[in-house]
Amino acid sequence: MFEWFDFLDLAETLAETPNNEAAARTAISRAYYATFHAGRTYLSRTDTPIDRSRNAHLQVLMQLQQRNDEIGQVLALLHSWRKQADYENPTIPDARELARSAVAFARDTIAAIEALP
């Protein structure tokens, strides 16, 4: 079985790559997906049904936000950063710092998700 948390380890490694916006963008994306899948795994464990479609992102966000508003806020922030990193063409100013922030937020948020009852 794939360990989604491995995305966070990869993100951390990529976030430390100097002068490489592609690495930083990938780190941001992987940090989001590590957090998203931690949330999805938690919801599955609590028998909360989640679609296997693009709606799953919003469903996971809303379900987690109902349980803990801060988790929901950070997941929404990481999602917006991920969309910027994956889809926006202009250069991201301070991409490496943003990647480092994404990794730190993801790590803290995953720990908060894992601490939910």
Count CB atoms within 10 A of the CB of residue 18. Answer: 7
Count CB atoms within 10 A of the CB of residue 112. Answer: 17
pTM (2 decimals)?
0.95
Q: pLDDT digit string (tens) for 64-107?
A: 999 999 999 999 999 999 999 999 999 999 999 999 999 999 99
> Hey, which CATH number is domain 6-114, 1.25.40, 1.10.10, 1.20.120, 3.30.70?
1.20.120
Cβ-based neighbours of 42, under 8 Å, separated by 6 or more: 64, 113, 114, 116
> Which sequence spans correspond to the domains of the chain?
6-114
At residue 86, the pLDDT reads 97
CA pair distance 108, 102, nearest whole angstrom: 10
CA pair distance 93, 97, nearest whole angstrom: 9
